[in-house]
Amino acid sequence: MNILLLGSGGREHALAWKIAASPLVERLVCAPGNAGIARECDLAALDVADHAAVIAFCRARKIDLVVVGPEAPLCAGIVDDLAAAGFKAFGPSRTAAQLEGSKAFTKDLCKANGIPTAAYGRFTAAAPAKDYVRAQGAPIVVKADGLAAGKGVVVAQSIAEAEAAVDMMFGGGLGPAGTEVVVEEFLQGEEASFFALCDGETAIPFASAQDHKRVFDGDEGPNTGGMGAYSPAPVMTPEISRRAMDEIVLPTVRAMQAMGAPYKGVLYAGLMITAQGPKLIEYNVRFGDPECQVLMLRLMSDLVPALLASCDGMLKNFDLRWYPDAALTVVMAAKGYPGMTVKGSVIEGLDDAAAVEGVQIFHAGTKGDGGRVLANGGRVLNVSARGKTVGEAQARAYRAVDRIRWADGFCRRDIGFRAVERENSV
Ligand code: AMP
C-alpha cells in the first residue's frame, strides 16, 4: 500500500514510525512532516489546508490510504473531499468531526442520549450566560463553542472570573470560536484520556493515558498543549474502561449513526473519573499529542490493518494486542514556551540519547539543516520510553533527556509523578 500521512508534530512522528514498520506498506509519505519524520519516510511539501492539492498528490502517487493527524483538516472536511475524489482516509467526516469542533453539539448529543457529562447551558449572548453563572455559583467552567487551540476553556474559581471569561469570549477574544459559549458544572475527580477506534457502527478500546498540561513541575504555571504523558492511566481500571465504552463511547457511536453522520476514526474521550463513575469532559476527533506517542510505543499489533478496519466498517471482530509495559514521554520545549520562542537553535546528542534501552525519540517541531537538527517550534522533542512500570519508563526517558545537548530547551522533571507515587506505595 501507498500511504499519505498528514501533519508535522510528535503525534505524526509516532504514527509514521508505527506505520513504516508495517509489512503492508510499500511507500509512506508525510506532508509536511519534520526532521524526525524524514528518518521514517519521504516528506512532501504539501499545504494540508489545500484539499485540491492533497487530492492531486494522491492521484499522482497512487495513494491507497490517507491518515489525517490533526483536527483542523478533519473539521475542514478533508475526509469528505478525499472520499468524493475516490480516496480512502482515516478519520471522521466534517459533520462527525463536530464532536470536537463544537462543544455545544457534543453537549446536546450527550443530553439526548443519556451520556454522563457535566450539566450545562448554551448561550449566544453575555447577559443570559452571566445569569446562569450567578444562579449556579462557582467553581464553574466557561467554554467557547468552537476550536480555540486549547485556549477555549476557563475553569473559574469565582463568579467574577466566570463573568470575565464570558465577556472575553463574547468580546471576540477567541475569534469566531466564541460566538457561542457553553457554561457547565465543575466536575470533581481524576482526569484520564480514553481512546477508542470507531468504524461508524461499533468501537473498540484503544488504551488510556494521562497527560500533564501545565508547563512547570508540580502541575504549576500556564496551560500548554501537553508537557508529557504516560499510558496506561492507573485510574482506568478494567471496570472503569468498560463503563467508559458502554456508557460514553458506544452510545455516542450509535447516536452519530442514527443522525446519519457515522463516526469513523479515533475518538479521544477526555474523562473525569468522578465518585459516580466516568463522565465526559470533551471529545477530540484524533489522537492526542503527546498521548499518541505513548500509545504507539505500547501497541504490539500492526497499526495499518486497524486503520483500514476503521475506514471499512470492519472493527466488529477486530482484536488489538498491546505490550504489557507502560510507556512515558517527556516533552522538551524551547525556552519561553507556551509563550514566544526562538527557532533555529541546534540540538545535539540525539543518537546517544536514543541508544538508552527502551527509548524512542519523536520529533515534534524540528527542521533538518544538512546533518544538523534545529528547533522549529514550541514543543520540539518527545523523549519517550517503555518500561515494566511507569517508574522504569520515566527513569529511562530522563536518562535519555540528560544525553541531549540543547541550550535553548527545557522540560519538566516530574512527568508521571502521580503514577510513580502510586506504584511506590503498593
Ligand atoms: P481543554 O483540553 O483545553 O479543553 O482543557 C480543558 C481542561 O479544563 C480539562 O482538561 C479539565 O482539566 C478542565 N475542565 C474542563 N471541563 C471541566 C469540568 N466540567 N469540570 C472540571 N474541569 C474541567
Ligand 1 midpoint to CA 270 (Å)? 8
Q: Rounded to whole angstroms, how far apart are CA atoms 210 and 384? A: 14
Structure confidence at residue 203 as a pLDDT band (50, 70, 90) = very high
Q: Rounded to whole angstroms, how far apart are CA atoms 90 and 74? A: 10
Ligand 1 midpoint to CA 374 (Å)? 33
Give the residue, by CA position, lying nearest to ligand 1 atom 5: 153
Q: Please state the atom number of ligand 1 nearest to the C-alpha of residue 213.
A: 10
Give the residue, by CA position, lying nearest to ligand 1 atom 16: 281
Tell me how long the chain is.
426
Question: Which pTM was predicted?
Answer: 0.96
Ligand 1 midpoint to CA 285 (Å)? 16
Q: Please state the atom number of ligand 1 nearest to the C-alpha of residue 118.
A: 19
Q: What DSSP element (H or E) covers 421?
A: helix 417-425
Ligand 1 midpoint to CA 223 (Å)? 11
Q: Which three cell numbers stand for residue 176?
A: 469566531
Q: Please state the atom number of ligand 1 nearest to the C-alpha of residue 185.
A: 19
Cβ pair 396, 355 in contact under 8 A: no
Helix, strand, coil tally for the chain in percent (to 5): 35, 30, 35
Buried b (16+ CB within 10 A) or exposed e, 357-371: ebbbbbbbbbbbeee
Which pLDDT tens digit goes with each residue over 315-356?
Answer: 998 999 999 999 999 999 999 999 999 999 999 999 999 999
**pLDDT at residue 192 in the model:** 97
Which pLDDT tens digit goes with each residue over 104-142?
Answer: 999 999 999 999 999 999 999 999 999 999 999 999 999
DSSP E strand boundaries for 186-343: 190-199, 203-216, 220-231, 264-274, 277-284, 326-334
**pLDDT above 90 for 151:** no
366-369 sheet: strands from edge to edge: 346-347, 372-375, 366-369
Structure confidence at residue 150 as a pLDDT band (50, 70, 90) = confident
Q: Which three cell numbers stand for residue 46?
A: 504539501
Q: Please state the atom number of ligand 1 nearest to the C-alpha of residue 187.
A: 20
Hey, how many other C-beta atoms are within 10 angstroms of the C-beta on 214? 16
Which pLDDT tens digit goes with each residue over 40-64?
Answer: 999 999 999 999 999 999 999 999 9
Query: Helix 303-312 vs helix 10-20: angle between axes, to the nearest 10 degrees?
Result: 100
What distance lies between CA 198 and its chain's CA centroid?
A: 16
**pLDDT above 80 for 149:** no
Vertex 106, ends 102 and 112: CA angle to 5°?
A: 145
Cβ pair 72, 11 in contact under 8 A: no
Q: What DSSP element (H or E) covers 100?
A: helix 98-101
Structure confidence at residue 426 as a pLDDT band (50, 70, 90) = confident
Ligand 1 midpoint to CA 213 (Å)? 11
Q: Please state the atom number of ligand 1 nearest to the C-alpha of residue 151.
A: 3
Pocket around ligand 1: residues whose beta carbon is below 6 Å from it?
118, 141, 150, 153, 155, 184-187, 191, 270, 281-282
Average pLDDT over the chain, rounded to an integer: 96
**pLDDT at residue 147 in the model:** 85
Ligand 1 midpoint to CA 387 (Å)? 29
Give the chain's largest Cα–Cα span: 61
The amino acid occupying position 165 is A
Closest CA to 332 of 386, 388, 293, 274: 293
Cβ pair 382, 362 in contact under 8 A: yes
DSSP E strand boundaries for 45-108: 65-68, 89-90
DSSP E strand boundaries for 217-322: 220-231, 264-274, 277-284
Q: Which three cell numbers stand for residue 56?
A: 492531486
Hey, how many other C-beta atoms are within 10 angstroms of the C-beta on 260? 7
Ligand 1 midpoint to CA 136 (Å)? 17
Q: Please state the atom number of ligand 1 nearest to the C-alpha of residue 186.
A: 20
Ligand 1 midpoint to CA 15 (Å)? 26
Q: What DSSP element (H or E) covers 3?
A: strand 2-7
Which residue among 115, 136, 142, 153 has the greatest number of ligand 1 atoms within 8 angstroms of its CB, and so is best to mutate? 153
Structure confidence at residue 148 as a pLDDT band (50, 70, 90) = confident
DSSP class of 289: T
Coil, helix or strand at residue 190 = strand
Ligand 1 midpoint to CA 147 (Å)? 14
Q: Rounded to whole angstroms, how far apart are CA atoms 30 and 214? A: 30
Ligand 1 midpoint to CA 271 (Å)? 9
Which residue among 281, 284, 291 has the greatest number of ligand 1 atoms within 8 angstroms of its CB, and so is best to mutate? 281
Give the residue, by CA position, lying nearest to ligand 1 atom 9: 281
Closest CA to 333 of 316, 319, 345: 345
Q: Rounded to whole angstroms, how far apart are CA atoms 91 and 263? A: 8
**pLDDT above 90 for 405:** yes
Q: Which three cell numbers stand for residue 424?
A: 511506590
Residue position matching grid coordinates 472520499: 83
